[in-house]
Amino acid sequence: MTHYETAASDLPLSTLSVTERVFEGLAPRLEDVVIIDGIDGRKFTAGDVIDHVKRLAGGLRAAGHVPQKPIALMAPNSPEYCIIFHAVAWAGGTITTLNPTYTAHEIRHQLRDSGAGLLITDPATLAVAKEALEELPEVQLCVIGSADDCLSLSALYGPAQEQQCPVDLDRHSVVLPYSSGTTGLPKGVCLSHRNLSMNIDQTAQGAEFRAGETAAAFLPFFHIYGMTVMMNMHLACGGVLVTMPRFDLELFLRICQDHRARRMWIVPPVALALAKHPLVDAYDLSALEQVFSGAAPMGSALSDAVASRLNCAMLQGYGMTELAPVSHITPLSTPRSGASGLALPNTRCRIVSPETGEDLPPGEEGELWIKGPQVMIGYLNNETATRDTLTSDGWLKTGDVAIIDADGYMFIVDRLKELIKYKGFQVAPAELEACLVAHPQIQDAAVIGLPDEEAGEVPVAFVVCADPAPSPEEIQSYVGTQLSHYKQLHRVTFVEAIPKSPSGKILRRLLRNSLYSISSL
Ligand code: 4UW
């Protein structure tokens, strides 16, 4: 059996909770500013962050919000996001993170599925949160800042809790981000303290992270890339965060210029802006050494265009929510064009033939399997999905097709799983299909991803309708009332029947081929 061993020396297993690991990195620099609000300029020193986390944790425990039920956090990036996240973790609780662009329908699904007892949100998303809770009166609501008729975050503060509440570092789920994995609806991904604290150290080592690095942090903290690589690694490893609630090219460039950023952490659609937008020339980015991208495939022409325009290296990493998230990173010291990276310390890989189940040697294409301390505990309340994804001896089947070359560099070449990636965000075909067939005039539906220069992929649907059939526009606007902007359908095609295998599985490849023949007409 070909098990790909990492060339990097293994790190000792972390014995710290994720917040203890972050505090370890904050303690030696108590007077230093570590988080700046990129919108209003508010500054938090390391000492401020520790103090806020401890007082909020104390209050959350005193009021009984933890550890009984998960706390849901639905907010854009801000200094408060980091404080709330770590306060819940320090208090021994569980956080489930929601995309702040979610509709009431999507919020309800995650609150019900995770069993959250409290939803903390932002004034900008308060109205949709209230709408979601009309059907879930048992969930309490709290707002960051203040708003009429709503519990405010400051009211949850209490006496400081000085120590980490005891938790099982391997079995307690500190965070439940949602991912559809290789198939089906979004599921809660149970990540432990050990998953998160190890992945901070693994990533910092693989990425050759240096103290003093400042990140223009627009990658959302609710998604595992922003959570571990931005929020946790920067706080734990001597970095500084300038938080951005959403991507704004001008603000992003200004922060990178003013803070002499050495590295940009991005997703492929931002690479497109960096390669093409005229604004880029107006900023002094001379401190930049590397642009680092992940979460979706990056073409080599785009990668080369960014590198030559910004006169720096363009590197990639690979991650997955179920891996807390990072398993591969391309180091600046040994770059390799087009690679998704070398395996991090403590990370073992296999390339397994989907047809025969056999391990494949270097240079051959197969499914990427990963084993290491960053591999999730499992999916929340879903043993079947957990069993389908994790082998009994701890290998995670990624659902991605990859090649590992003779030097250990991994290249993602295709995807076996159903997932669609829109600008790096997950769109689960099953979620769109469930939404479509809930329409009274739609009898069956299938959704696939269509390649798109800006977004990477866009969702498109095939539908079987009853008479009278709704128009494509009616179907699109119906989906618009149910699901957030990045899950919207870019095309609707009417068909007589959805092609399926004898076991009822949608034959997506047939649909994909039919779409290409339609587009080329
Ligand atoms: N090339 C091609 C890639 C790549 C990719 C991911 O939403 P999730 O679950 O998770 C992520 C995490 C991305 C990430 C985290 C940390 C990091 O350092 C980094 O590199 C900078 C990236 O996206 O989606 C997981 C799925 O996204 C695809 C792939 O299909 C994977 O299973 N994906 N990275 N470099 N595809």
How would you label 209-228 residue by residue, b for 16+ Cβ within 10 Å and e otherwise? Answer: beeebbbbbbbbbbbbbbbb
pLDDT band at 1 (very low <50, low <70, confident <90, very high): low
User: Average model confidence (pLDDT) for the chain?
Assistant: 96
Q: How far is the CA of 421 from the centre of ligand 1 (A)?
A: 9
User: Looking at the DSSP assignment, which residues form a beta bridge with residue 118?
Assistant: 71, 140
**What pLDDT, on the 0 to 100 scale, is given for residue 521?**
43
**What pLDDT, on the 0 to 100 scale, is given for residue 414?**
94
Query: How far apart are the C-alpha atoms of 114 and 106, rounded to whole Å?
Result: 12
- The DSSP annotation for 425-485 comes to EEE-HHHHHHHHHTSTTEEEEEEEEEEETTTEEEEEEEEEEPSSPPPHHHHHHHHHHHS-G
Q: Rounded to two decimals, what is the model's pTM?
A: 0.97
- pLDDT 10s digits, 63-117: 999 988 999 999 999 999 999 999 999 999 999 999 999 999 999 999 999 999 9
Residue that has been written with the tokens 């609710």 in this structure: 222
Protein residue with its CA nearest to atom 30 in ligand 1: 400
Query: How far apart are the C-alpha atoms of 234 and 22, rounded to whole Å?
Result: 9
Ligand 1 atom with least separation from CA of 292:
21
Q: How far is the CA of 511 from the centre of ligand 1 (A)?
A: 25
Ligand 1 atom with least separation from CA of 225:
15
Distance (Å) of CA 133 to CA 77, 78, 116, 377, 442: 23, 24, 12, 29, 28
Residues within 6 Å of ligand 1 by CB: 179, 224-225, 229, 292-297, 316-321, 325-326, 340, 398, 400, 412, 415, 419, 421, 424, 426
User: Looking at the DSSP assignment, which residues form a beta bridge with residue 410?
Assistant: 341, 404
- pLDDT 10s digits, 243-292: 999 999 999 999 999 999 999 999 999 999 999 999 999 999 999 999 99
Q: How far is the CA of 451 from the centre of ligand 1 (A)?
A: 17
Query: How far apart are the C-alpha atoms of 494 and 461, rounded to whole Å?
Result: 9
Protein residue with its CA nearest to atom 21 in ligand 1: 294
Protein residue with its CA nearest to atom 6 in ligand 1: 295
Give the closest residue to 272 by CA, choosing from 289, 249, 295.
Answer: 249
* Top mutation candidate among 320, 401, 422, 431 for ligand 1, by most atoms within 8 Å of CB: 320
Q: Indicate the Cα dihedral angle 337, 338, 342, 347, nearest 10°.
A: 170
- pLDDT 10s digits, 452-496: 999 999 999 999 999 999 999 999 999 999 999 999 999 999 999
Ligand 1 atom with least separation from CA of 398:
32
List the end-to-end C-alpha distance of the chain, in Å, as a whole number. Answer: 47
Give the closest residue to 122 by CA, choosing from 150, 156, 94, 157.
Answer: 150
Ligand 1 atom with least separation from CA of 293:
21
pLDDT band at 449 (very low <50, low <70, confident <90, very high): very high
Q: How far is the CA of 179 from the centre of ligand 1 (A)?
A: 12
Q: How far is the CA of 181 from the centre of ligand 1 (A)?
A: 12
Q: How far is the CA of 124 from the centre of ligand 1 (A)?
A: 28
Kindly tell me if the per-residue pLDDT of 394 is higher than 80.
Answer: yes
- pLDDT 10s digits, 202-257: 999 999 999 999 999 999 999 999 999 999 999 999 999 999 999 999 999 999 99
Q: How far is the CA of 317 from the centre of ligand 1 (A)?
A: 7
Protein residue with its CA nearest to atom 27 in ligand 1: 295
- The DSSP annotation for 405-425 comes to -TTS-EEEEEE-S--EEETTE
Q: How far is the CA of 318 from the centre of ligand 1 (A)?
A: 5
Give the containing element (helix H, strand E) for 111.
helix 104-114
pLDDT band at 520 (very low <50, low <70, confident <90, very high): very low
**What pLDDT, on the 0 to 100 scale, is given for residue 519?**
52
